[in-house]
Structure 1
């Protein structure tokens, strides 16, 4: 059963939160980072990019140590404050598209991660896990939640709605035009009710943050071994998470772009595709697939629909039925010669918020030879993959919401 606990968060003062909160560092362009660091002394980006103070690129352990220093300076300057009592946080986001996401920020158990109570659907890269583990070990805090999801729960929904009737601790709109609301929950009766509800859930599912959760698990293993008085209740036994009901998740597809046809001409490529797909030329019509195992393809100025020939493809498990996997085993690997979906420089990914116009433009520019459009993966598909202990291909899902870094910070 899932163990979710409240924690004593470190968080910005009410007047600074809108200035401090930041997206994930890698979501900014270099120019955006530069402008925020130059114009906003309170941005969380100053903490994670400490070399800016010295106008120098700094990496590795030297950077980690400076990140810790910047974080301590923010605390010393009163930009961050620490909760007096363990708390949950009800967090609501209304994004610029009008979509609304509501969930609870709490601490999830690394033991649940190890025991597969917290289920995974995505492969991780070991070197990234180890890098982030060392980062966490040095800085001593985590400022970006793992996104977990659970089946809709009416009792928990009623508690959250009641909490949201009061004034939020934070209410701010970002330059990205998303509005964030945060309620602090420290009433012991309500905390216990929330914990009890989660404890009755047989499983939680990682929606986003597989590397962060894996690194937190590795960190806990290290610190357990180094602590002769380990009890299991230390802060390192948990990691900060944003828990959201399944119905609130918004899942977009990742479309695929490939630089060349692996030495084939257009007609040869179409003939080889015909083995596994029924192909229809859609001309200039923007064709977007509307059912499972159908794909859109943009090639040489025209759209095509590709419908999987079910007699030629066998489905034996949840992974076999996944469209990103089908495209990989029938097209990307055997025809286009792309085996390593993470590292092959010939393939790029475009999340579905950019739509097929982005795919068309990228191919028309000559940068890519062909683009493929897919349906978004569903929550049920994610859960089936995780329940069967399987892993999706990289870039199978682009999931919202995306929390801001630094709104709540978890120390260990």
Structure 2
């Protein structure tokens, strides 16, 4: 049983939403950020980067307070308005490749997360959790939902389809040629049907946003302690989520780039690889693996295919079957000496949305010595690993959709 609630979102006005909505701050290059901050006074980036107007880098509590000030200014200026009644929100994305994503923005329960009804498949870093918790506690809002996935459900699909016959509240296309649409679900019968349907859903899975959800748990614990009249229904007992059916989720791989061969020559490296892999030199022809436990490798101007010698590797758990884990346990750690996948600056991750030629260009630039490509993990693998209480290595999945910040905002 999962608890999903409607909420009163703070949203941009219809005429400003295309200007306000932004990608996550980290996804922009410095030049892109500066261009938007220079020429678009309505961008949500002005809120999350409040020091820009002072031409100064500001961090810590001082930055958090300025973020809150910029947010309040957007509300005072009428750029943001809060809905007068709790709603669910249908958010649709049609990307430049014509893939369509339909989901529901709602408030998910911290208690469900704590009780493992909302399951995770990635570890979080305690220091990052605390930093984001402190940020949330100061600013009092969250603008980036956690991406949750649920089994396909005909009731939810019917409600979404029927609502989308109406004119969307928001419809805008970004400079990246993605089209975003938003509808409000404000009728009691629809709200109740959605809430009751999810109440019958045994488990939800976090697809993206592990640190956001864990930080929301810490925030709830802090505010609960501070509130002597705590009831469990306060807004801090929930966190904003974007719920999408499993069939509409898109999982891409993260390919790996490594700066050096850990002191080995090319020949020594290939000989060590031969213990665990059947190796074939593919020359200059790009090779992209198509099966689990097969990898592509680009080294010294040539592509190689690597096929696991299964007699030398034991599959004891669901995690052992994951290619990102397999690559780590057979190559990155024992041969290349990379033990900390989060913090070792010798390794870099490249989204599988960028093709294998992009990996080649990174190695050819001499910034990296070797690159590895793999196939994406599946939703079945992700769920099984979560069900088994295991966690994937960092950057095991690049998951879509990615919705825009500032379109719906959840206040605590």
- Aligned residue for 1:57, secondary structure, equals coil
2:290 match: 290
- Aligned residue for 1:353, secondary structure, equals coil
- Aligned residue for 1:354, secondary structure, equals coil
Shift of 1:200: 0.6
- Aligned residue for 1:191, secondary structure, equals helix
1:109 match: 109
Shift of 1:275: 0.7
Shift of 1:366: 1.2
1:190 match: 190
2:69 match: 69
Distance 1:39 1:156 in 2: 40
1:304 match: 304
1:345 match: 345
Distance 1:200 1:36 in 2: 44
- Aligned residue for 2:58, secondary structure, equals coil
Shift of 1:177: 1.0
Distance 2:8 2:184 in 1: 11
2:266 equivalent to 1:266: yes
2:325 equivalent to 1:325: yes
Distance 2:233 2:306 in 1: 53
2:14 equivalent to 1:21: no
Where do residues 87-126 of structure 1 align in structure 2 (5 Å cutoff)? Answer: 87-126=87-126
Distance 1:355 1:381 in 2: 23
Where do residues 7-406 of structure 1 align in structure 2 (5 Å cutoff)? Answer: 7-406=7-406
Distance 1:33 1:366 in 2: 27
Shift of 1:296: 0.4
- Aligned residue for 1:261, secondary structure, equals coil
Structure 1 outlier segments of 4+, above 2 Å: none
Unaligned 5+ segments in structure 1 are none
Shift of 1:353: 1.1
Shift of 1:231: 0.2
> What are the Cα deviations for residues 100-145 of structure 1, in whole angstroms up to 9, with x where unaligned?
1001000000000000000000011111100000000000000000
- Aligned-residue Cα RMSD (Å) equals 0.6
- Aligned residue for 1:41, secondary structure, equals coil
> What are the Cα deviations for residues 177-199 of structure 1, in whole angstroms up to 9, with x where unaligned?
11001001111111000000001
- TM-score for both structures, normalised by structure 2: 0.99
Distance 1:228 1:336 in 2: 54
Distance 1:155 1:410 in 2: 26
Unaligned 5+ segments in structure 2 are none
- Aligned residue for 1:131, secondary structure, equals helix
| Greater Cα offset, 364-373 or 106-115 | 364-373
- TM-score for both structures, normalised by structure 1: 0.99
Shift of 1:159: 0.9
2:408 match: 408
